[in-house]
Each structure stands twice: as structure tokens, then as C-alpha cells.
């Protein structure tokens, strides 16, 4: 009965939306092929999904039923270029589902998820289609393929195997059920986190409770209160831009504790938005899927398709950084406790104290007050700084497009051109928190780059963040972490923009999860270089460049608090691995599992893991399962890669920049990632570079 209801519902939606009124079913009219966001409505999605699936299935059937012998062009290339309409609507829907969702979109997501899962299974479990792919794979040495074609063929064969194409019919049926249930569970997890984030508001009525908070923080809280019809009060939320300044500056210890506790217990309140049962379900399904596909654990399955390859390799790597990181964190904790002891309050250092006393310690050690830096980090100036950096490194030009349709007033659009004025792509930026946007920062594609029939289709890229919002009398002034994040996400954008691949599945950021963070993290290395800071660190009122004295202090404080930062990050990476190396599917208690994991790794009580289980979106919704380690893995690569510039004495060295662009940024997944890196660097990365850079050695 349930299977019969779905087509009926879709038919009703189709009937209510004429084909020629649906922007997805027409050719986008602007010259960049960008979506007409101002015309797209919720009722357009399901009819477009339905038609897209129908068209894609027809293409798949045509490839599978082709009477001609399989060739690379009539099978692999045809497969990779298929599904244009489905990709068109999916990219818009899931971009907006992350950045501008609403109740209607959540309903659509829950409706379309099992349908997309079934369609994906229909493709990868198609026996005739797999037979053609396997024939080509088995004879690949005789086909005369170029390296990119060979890479694509091997990737498709691997994807078919990993999607269950070699299973028997009974196991294929089990896999279909698992995939549908898993998709819905992952959606539910993310929706619960968003709802919990939006529902919490700390209302402060007595200004005395705000002691220690800078005026800019108070003003932002007052404006949040006004937005919530609480004028004359102050409101804080679990968005980082709201509560982190409280942790840094508030003299009110109870307020610090309440906000950090609210943030770290999201979706862990034993109510309808609690994620503990959802985590158990996700991990049971992922483990069952791994077992079906012949792997001992979910991590074994996931990592088989990465640079790391095995859970042991990841654990060994993480342990090599964890030990010096936690040792450093213990030293830092002692320093902070001394500051607390000097106040003679008899208090013991707790997680809600760390930010507050480390800010005091930074001021005492380096005479560096982050609040005094923020006037020099106007968001628009920082963004222009990364644009200028990309111009110096790669010759890129950025032109603002004021007439492009956008999906929210905060969004801005830029045309990106190469040094020869050829089009590189389009970049959307969307930087401020709101109720319809999930927390964090990310880069996404609206359309992929690829080459077909002599045309190089250029990409459309989004950079999304949740940075400090402007107030009534001040622009958005970023803290140091937000500056680094903007540089980081722009690095992802460059990876997506500069790609020059033939096939969409290989282009841009379609690389292994533990390689994708290299282009983003390497950008952070330029962030605090004085030469670069002079291009963007300008006072928002006077326009004066940050004094050299302040830049020098930032340099001297470069490894400050790195024990905390790395312990917080690495503990999340190890927790992720512990979840994904579960071997059986018996129910377990999430809070107890997390507690045991942290105790086993030797987590110190003064620091909370960066992402507690119930809001760990990276590993339960956004594709970093058994992959959160990749931020640290890629940090080895980025430290070594930036050293290639430093060794020349020129951080803009054009020869090194060209080599990085040609061998990494343009190549996507067209070759083995370590081979691409070696071609750029001339050698394997040196692991010690990371420990030295972070002051852990």
C-alpha cells in the first residue's frame, strides 16, 4: 500500500504545477547557467525530482540495453554525463536544504530521500549495466585509455562493487532496505540538531549579568532580542558567533556554564528531538551494510576508498599527534589554573572556564586582546583579502554581479575570471547565521565543471558560513577563528572553481575525503602572514592598516592554546573512529559509549570534545563518517605544501603557485591523490612539519 501512495502524491504535485511554470524544467536563461532562485518555489521540487529520475532511468536503461559491445564512450562516459535534470534539481534543493530550509523543504527531504535511495540502487544494482562496466574493467589494459579515462573506469567499477553490484539477490534486497532507512535516519539527525539549535535562547534581563562583555557583544545580543520581540533585553543562542564571545569575556561564570552546556547537550535531552536512538540506528545500519559488503566494520568499508586505507593507519596517525597534543593541553591547563588560583576563589578549572582564562593568559603573555583585533577584520575586507591572494597566486579576477537572482538577501554573487579573461566560474557567498541554516561553514557546488562536445562547462560554487552579523552601527567584524574559516572555505571554493577535468565525477572536490581538505587548509597558512594581512586587516572606520606591532603579536602568539585546539579536534576524530569500528549491531548507550571512548583515549576533564555525539553532524549527516581525521591528515599535507612557498622566500612564488594549481587544484580526482601531491612537491609530505607548525614538537 505504501508503494502505491507515493506515485499518487507525486501525481497530485505534478497536477498542481504546470511543466512550463517549473524553472527546473526549462533552460536557465542567464548566461552563466545559474538557477533563477527568485522563481523557485517548494512546489517545483517534487515534479522536477520525478521528471529527473524518469529521464535518468531512461538514460540508464539505454546504456544497459545497448546491443553494441561496451566501449568507454557508450558506457562509462555516457553514464557520467547522464542525469542532467536530476543533478540540476538535487544541487539546488540540497544546497538550500542546508542554508535556507523551511518546514516545507524538510517534508520534501523526508519524502524524496527514500525515492532517491531506491533510484540510486536501481542504477548500481542493475545487472546488465554492471556487466558492461565489468567487461571494460577486466579489459582496461587493452582499451588504450588516457589516465583520466582509466581513473574514471576504475572509479565506476569500484563504486558498483561498493554499492553491492556483486551481491546475490537476497543481499541486494537487504541493502536496498538499509540504504532507505539510513538516508531517513541521517536526515532526522540533522533536522533534530537544527531544531535544537534554533529552539534555545538564553534571555538576560539584568545588565549586571553581562559584566565583562564588550559593547559589540552586548549590542549583538540586544539586536537578537529585538528580532525575538524582546526589546530591552539580551538574547544569546547556541550559534558560535553568539556564545563564544561570552565564553571568552563574560565574568559571569554561571552564564558561561549555561551557554556551553546548552551548546554541548543539543539533541541530548530525552525528548522528541533527542538523537541518541537515531545514532544507534545509524550505526546499526552502517555496520550491517559493511558486513553485507564483506567488511568487518563501517570504518573498514569507508576507508578502503581513501588515502589512509585502514582504521589502523588512521588510529596510528591520530595517536602520533594526540600524545603531544594532550601533553601540551595539560601544561596549558596548569597555567590557567594558576590564573584562577591567583583570584583566590577556590575554583577548579572547568570547560566553561578555558576560553575565559586563556583569553586572559593571551593578553598577559602576548599583550594580545582578540577584541582589539576585530575592528581590523571587517568581513568584506577579509573576503577581498582572499580575492587578492587568489589574484596574486593564480591571476584570478573577481567581479561582483548585482543583477543575479539570489535565495536570501545576505547572498552575494561574483564572476571569477582567469588572467586571460576567460570564465573560471561563479561564486556565491552567504556568511550570516539564520534559523533556516545549519551551523558551521562549508563549500558546495551548484553545478560541476566538466567538458563535453568541445564545451568546457564552468562551475557554480557556494561558500556558506555563520559569522558574526552586522549590527545597527557596525559591520560584520570577525574574530580570528572566523577569519581562518573564511580563508579555509575559500580554499575549497578554489578547488571547485579551478578544476579542468573532462568528466563531472572527477572534477573539483570529488576527491577522497582525506585529500579534499588540502586545498582549504593550505589557504589558512597565508592568513596571518604580514604581507597578506596588510591587504585586508584595515580598520573599519579609518581604513588604516593594522599596526605592525599588532601583526607581530599575532605571529608570536601563533602556537598559543594549540594543546586545547588539537585535543578538542583529535578527540572528535578518535570518537568518530570508535563509532565506526563497532563490530556488532547490538543496541548501546550513546552517552556511555562516548564517555568510555573519551576515557580510553585519555581526554582531560577540562576540555570537552569538539563535537559531542548527539550533534556531530560531520559524521552522522554530512559525509565525514570515519573521516573526521582528514582535517588533521590534510594538515600534514598543507604544512608541507606551504613550506614549498616558504623555502623560496616568497609566499606568492609564481612557479610554486602554478605547480600547485596545475597538479592539485585543476586535477580533481583524475589521478591518485598522493601521486598528484608528489608531482607538485617532488617528494612525500614530512609529518614533522605539522607538529612543528602547531608548536607540539
Q: Is residue 551 within 8 Å of residue 531, measured between CB atoms?
A: no
Rounded to whole angstroms, the Cα distance separating 441 from 464 reads 5
9: CB partners within 8 A, 6+ apart: 111
Question: Model confidence at 11, in pLDDT bands (50, 70, 90)?
Answer: very low
Rounded to whole angstroms, the Cα distance separating 658 from 197 reads 43
Residue 313 pLDDT exceeds 70:
yes
> Helix H segments across 343-378?
351-366, 370-373
Rounded to whole angstroms, the Cα distance separating 192 from 583 reads 27
3-state secondary structure of 257: helix
Determine how β-strand 455-457 pairs with β-strand 450-452: antiparallel
Q: The C-alpha cell of 306 is what?
A: 581513501
Residue 527 pLDDT exceeds 80:
yes
> Using one digit for the tens of pLDDT, what is the confidence trace for 127-139?
999 999 999 999 9
3-state secondary structure of 102: coil
> Using one digit for the tens of pLDDT, what is the confidence trace for 625-641?
999 999 999 999 999 99
Rounded to whole angstroms, the Cα distance separating 512 from 423 reads 27
307: CB partners within 8 A, 6+ apart: 512, 514, 515, 633, 673, 674
Q: Give the 3-state secondary structure percentages of the chain, helix then strand then coil, rounded to 5.
A: 60, 5, 35
pLDDT score for 4: 30
Q: Is residue 530 within 8 Å of residue 548, measured between CB atoms?
A: yes
3-state secondary structure of 503: coil
Q: Is residue 608 within 8 Å of residue 266, measured between CB atoms?
A: no
Residue 202 pLDDT exceeds 70:
yes
Rounded to whole angstroms, the Cα distance separating 361 from 152 reads 52
460: CB partners within 8 A, 6+ apart: 32, 33, 34, 425, 426, 428, 445, 446, 447
Domains in the chain (CATH in brackets) are 2-166 (1.10.1370.40), 200-264 (no CATH), 375-556+630-693 (1.10.1370.40)
Question: Model confidence at 689, in pLDDT bands (50, 70, 90)?
Answer: confident
The two most distant CA atoms of the chain are separated, in Å, by 85
Question: Model confidence at 2, in pLDDT bands (50, 70, 90)?
Answer: very low
640: CB partners within 8 A, 6+ apart: 681, 685, 686, 689
Among the ranges given (107-116, 610-619, 651-660, 678-687), the one the predictor scored with the smallest mean pLDDT: 678-687
Residue 654 pLDDT exceeds 90:
yes
Residue 383 pLDDT exceeds 50:
yes
pLDDT score for 586: 87
Question: Model confidence at 265, in pLDDT bands (50, 70, 90)?
Answer: very high
Q: The C-alpha cell of 15 is what?
A: 497536477
Mean pLDDT calculated for residue range 670-678: 97
Mean pLDDT calculated for residue range 509-517: 96
Mean pLDDT calculated for residue range 466-492: 97
225: CB partners within 8 A, 6+ apart: 203, 231, 232, 233, 234, 235
pLDDT score for 461: 98
What are the φ and ψ backbone dihedral angles of 170, each rounded to 5 degrees?
A: -65, -45
Question: Which residue, among 180, 58, 185, has the nearest Cα to 116 in the 3D structure?
Answer: 180
pLDDT score for 194: 97
Residue 14 pLDDT exceeds 50:
no
Q: Give catalytic status of residue 489 as yes or no.
A: yes
Question: Of these residues, 332, 448, 489, 568, which one is catalytic?
Answer: 489
pLDDT score for 18: 46
What are the φ and ψ backbone dihedral angles of 461, each rounded to 5 degrees?
A: -120, 145
Rounded to whole angstroms, the Cα distance separating 34 from 406 reads 10
pLDDT score for 20: 62
3-state secondary structure of 326: helix
Question: Model confidence at 12, in pLDDT bands (50, 70, 90)?
Answer: very low
Q: What does pTM read for this prediction?
A: 0.95
Alpha carbon distance, N-terminus to C-terminus of the chain: 63
Mean pLDDT calculated for residue range 188-204: 97
Question: Model confidence at 686, in pLDDT bands (50, 70, 90)?
Answer: confident
Residue 507 pLDDT exceeds 90:
yes
Rounded to whole angstroms, the Cα distance separating 109 from 114 reads 9
Residue 16 pLDDT exceeds 50:
no
Q: Is residue 220 within 8 Å of residue 469, measured between CB atoms?
A: yes
pLDDT score for 331: 98
pLDDT score for 19: 53
What are the φ and ψ backbone dihedral angles of 239, each rounded to 5 degrees?
A: -75, 135
Tally of CA atoms within 13 A in the half-sphere of 674 that contains its CB: 10
pLDDT score for 8: 28
Amino acid at each position: 500500500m505504501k508503494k502505491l501512495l507515493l506515485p499518487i502524491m507525486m501525481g497530485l504535485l505534478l497536477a498542481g504545477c504546470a511543466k512550463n511554470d517549473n524553472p527546473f524544467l526549462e533552460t536557465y536563461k542567464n548566461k552563466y547557467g545559474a538557477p533563477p532562485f527568485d522563481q523557485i518555489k517548494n512546489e517545483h521540487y517534487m515534479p522536477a525530482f520525478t521528471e529527473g529520475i524518469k529521464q535518468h532511468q531512461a538514460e540508464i536503461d539505454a546504456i544497459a540495453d545497448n546491443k553494441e559491445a561496451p566501449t568507454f564512450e557508450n558506457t562509462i562516459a555516457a553514464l557520467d554525463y547522464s542525469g542532467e535534470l536530476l543533478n540540476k534539481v538535487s544541487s539546488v534543493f540540497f544546497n538550500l536544504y542546508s542554508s535556507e530550509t523551511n518546514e516545507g523543504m524538510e517534508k520534501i527531504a523526508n519524502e524524496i530521500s527514500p525515492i532517491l535511495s531506491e533510484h540510486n540502487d536501481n542504477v548500481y544494482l542493475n545487472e546488465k549495466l554492471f556487466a558492461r562496466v565489468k567487461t571494460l574493467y577486466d579489459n582496461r589494459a587493452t582499451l588504450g585509455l588516457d589516465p583520466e579515462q582509466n581513473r574514471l573506469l576504475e572509479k565506476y567499477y569500484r563504486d558498483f562493487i561498493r554499492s553491492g553490484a556483486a551481491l546475490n539477490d537476497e543481499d541486494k534486497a537487504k541493502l536496498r532496505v538499509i540504504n532507505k532507512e539510513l538516508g531517513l535516519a541521517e536526515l532526522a539527525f540533522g533536522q533534530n540538531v537544527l531544531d535544537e539549535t534554533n529552539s534555545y535562547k538564553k534571555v538576560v534581563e539584568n545588565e549586571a549579568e553581562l559584566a565583562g562583555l564588550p559593547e559589540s557583544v552586548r549590542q549583538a545580543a540586544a539586536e537578537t532580542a529585538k528580532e525575538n520581540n524582546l526589546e530591552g533585553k539580551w538574547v544569546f543562542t547556541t550559534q558560535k558567533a553568539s556564545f563564544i564571545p561570552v565564553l571568552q569575556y563574560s565574568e559571569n561564570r554561571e552564564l558561561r556554564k549555561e551557554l556551553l552546556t546548552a551548546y554541548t547537550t543539543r539533541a541530548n535531552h530525552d525528548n522528541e528531538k533527542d538523537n541518541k536512538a537515531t545514532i544507534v540506528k545509524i550505526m546499526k545500519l552502517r555496520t550491517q551494510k559493511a558486513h553485507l559488503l564483506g567488511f568487518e566494520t563501517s570504518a573498514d568499508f569507508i576507508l578502503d576508498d581513501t588515502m589512509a586505507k585502514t582504521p589502523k593507519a588512521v588510529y596510528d596517525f591520530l595517536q602520533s599527534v594526540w600524545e603531544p597534543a594532550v601533553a601540551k593541553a595539560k601544561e596549558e591547563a596548569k597555567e590557567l589554573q594558576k590564573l584562577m588560583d591567583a583570584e583566590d576563589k577556590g575554583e577548579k578549572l572547568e570547560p566553561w572556564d578555558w576560553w575565559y582564562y586563556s583569553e586572559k593568559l593571551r593578553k598577559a603573555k602576548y599583550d594580545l586582546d582578540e577584541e582589539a583585533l576585530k575592528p581590523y577584520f571587517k568581513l568584506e575586507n577579509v573576503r577581498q583579502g582572499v580575492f587578492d591572494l587568489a589574484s596574486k597566486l593564480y591571476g584570478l579576477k573577481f567581479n561582483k554581479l548585482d543583477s543575479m537572482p539570489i535565495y536570501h538577501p545576505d547572498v552575494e554573487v561574483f564572476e571569477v575570471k582567469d588572467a586571460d579573461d576567460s570564465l573560471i566560474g561563479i561564486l556565491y557567498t552567504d556568511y550570516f547565521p539564520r534559523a533556516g541554516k545549519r551551523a558551521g561553514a562549508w563549500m558546495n557546488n551548484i553545478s560541476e565543471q566538466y567538458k563535453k562536445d568541445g564545451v568546457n562547462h564552468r562551475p557554480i560554487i557556494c561558500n556558506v558560513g555563520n559569522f558574526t552579523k552586522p549590527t545597527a552601527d557596525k559591520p560584520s567584524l570577525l574574530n580570528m577563528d572566523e577569519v581562518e574559516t573564511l580563508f579555509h572555505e575559500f580554499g575549497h571554493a578554489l578547488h571547485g572553481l579551478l578544476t579542468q577535468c573532462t568528466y563531472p565525477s572527477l572534477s573539483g572536490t570529488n576527491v577522497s575525503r582525506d585529500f579534499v581538505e588540502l586545498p582549504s587548509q593550505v589557504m589558512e597558512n597565508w592568513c596571518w602572514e604580514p604581507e597578506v594581512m596588510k591587504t585586508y586587516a584595515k580598520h573599519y572606520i579609518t581604513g588604516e592598516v593594522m599596526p605592525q606591532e599588532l601583526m607581530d603579536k599575532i605571529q608570536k602568539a601563533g602556537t598559543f592554546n594549540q594543546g586545547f585546539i588539537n585535543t578538542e579536534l583529535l578527540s572528535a576524530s578518535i570518537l568518530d573512529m570508535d563509532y565506526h569500528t563497532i563490530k556488532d549491531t547490538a543496541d548501546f548507550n550513546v552517552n556511555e559509549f562516548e564517555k568510555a571512548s573519551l576515557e580510553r583515549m585519555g581526554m582531560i576533564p577540562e576540555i570537552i570534545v569538539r563535537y559531542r555525539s548527539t550533534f556531530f553532524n560531520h559524521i552522522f549527516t554530512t559525509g565525514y563518517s570515519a573521516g573526521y581525521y582528514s582535517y588533521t591528515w590534510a594538515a600534514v599535507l598543507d604544512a608541507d605544501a606551504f613550506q614549498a612557498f616558504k623555502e623560496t622566500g616568497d609566499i606568492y612564488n609564481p612557479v610554486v603557485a602554478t605547480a600547485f594549481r596545475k597538479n592539485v587544484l585543476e586535477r580533481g580526482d583524475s589521478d591518485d591523490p598522493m601521486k598528484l601531491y608528489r608531482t607538485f612537491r617532488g617528494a612525500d609530505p614530512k609529518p614533522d612539519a605539522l607538529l612543528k607548525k602547531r608548536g607540539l614538537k
